[in-house]
Structure 1
């Protein structure tokens, strides 16, 4: 069974949900909003293996709804974050949500009792109540003039125009957005904000400052965005915008060798940065964590259970013979979409929420496994992995073992299979089987052919 449960199946069908919302949402019922599209984002299924706790299971996901305002005939897009519960739990959860909301925020909460569903219209989020403030244009303009720009130039500035663009919204976790604005002089600029559910942004700010100072005037380093400050009242971290080109859009078979060699140099330099207070992830920790994930996959994809078990046992056996490498700074979420190509082939790196201390091979394996989700085709994925590993191995101070790198890639490929399940990706069975098969057969020799 690939769906979370029969009770939740409808929530993962975007066409059925578009029809349901057309008949249930208040603005649709009054005839003011006609839905034309419904896309599912960030599905997250919380399940419990203990049968006694099954009723606590829920599905959380965001719907990106597109429609037409029937009065103005203009396009109207909204995000609705939904939690679907089993049994009668939605009523109690709705009352809790109402109690937490303040004033006008209560009108942003929706309860469809017969579907066991509670929803929140963006920018209201039950765990990020400050979002409706930082995403308000009047607030943003005033805040830019009175705080953010003062950090850079020490004097006030006049803003002619401002636009707010949502970069990445993870309900109840964080939201990243960009202020694009124009000064009276006509100069255009961008500032990024990242609002967190808690105060973790303060520590991330300290980490970015450390990395930024290390990277200044150092061509071997990643380009790091300039930190503008952290506002504890808003749980928000602010960064200066960078101008460059997405590495993913620029990379090709012709420039793969050159750019992967540059990426390897930047990564080796990054991993040598000294940083205190970070959690340490050992290879034993990775094995324990992946085994927990595989158990859940086995419960759902029972036809693949033996293959999953065989591969995990193989990883445990191989671990005993792996060489010991000194742990280093790890980005923790290192993939090509975090990278921007700058002048002179410098590469900028973003998103420092998951920094940790781990094997130097973990980031490379994470980068490599993630390429398989992008459908680059024509052997480009394999070429990028091979070029990056060869370049990294050549300049690393460690005596790297090919089988050690493969071991890490298999861990990461299994992690992709699990994420596909948790996020309830389309063609789920095919994705999980594909990642499992890759993990079983991956070899650098195949990539070199």
Structure 2
């Protein structure tokens, strides 16, 4: 085979996005960017409130019981179900019509995302297995990337960066979300009960059947979805998994003569609620940690906090960048001609922003130890801030290079 033929057979690691997928990607990026800014605002309010003279009021509101759950539980198990429903829809869309539908184009973001989950977990476990008093149960905390927060940073400092880079980050986050979903379902389920689980599965099957028979009225879907969520919660499996499952059985392809598929219609209605209400509400009651001098000193000697920070800031960069480089080095994939490896490096640092799902996993991992949960959350916030600042600096330089 001639060398020129080998070059033509090589695949782009960051393919161009065309047609309806480009329009969908643009809408998703705008929504996620706005959501990231609201998420940041909610986190700042939570931190100020929890460290102010009115901190008792913050804890009182957070722990207040509203029916069967506390306000904090409603925000984590209830509000985030909308976020995870959209994650399920996005994953299915990527598998059916997006980048993940083609193996040659999916391999790079999949390997990068998996490497970006494994390396932080290894760093966390290394620190906590070697240090006295280490706790291995928090290994999953630094594995998650917060796409809304990351895209907000990208939007602020990277207006001239190539669209292929944004597409890669979004695809990377979809795979990352799926990995986090599996981790939550497998490792953070408590007190398993079979009958409620069977009831939830049956309701999800009914939801799927209604999709198959092209039933469109929300009067049927909404109560079925709420009931499926509740029974999943009662089964001992984290309630947000019901949201993922419902998203995964939602139809993403339009019928002949249909302007848009149900997934698109539902996303247009739910995405503002997810980005503007559900995720900021979770951040408001999850990010309120004490950052006094004593608390920060305790965190600096806590192997859990150090493992989380090292996993997010160092592990994410090495995992995402290393996974991308190794895949393009040993497969037929090659870097898109619009991009440079410095761009990939900057986005790899950006992947170290672990916020929404990382805070959720911290709550699940250390839920019985309030002090440890506080230190773990503080580590997530501080590490995410460090990753955001470093990535912003790198992206700003790359943005200037493209705008000149």
* Normalised TM-score (structure 2): 0.27
Specify which structure has the higher proportion of helix. Answer: 2
Specify which structure has the higher proportion of strand. Answer: 1
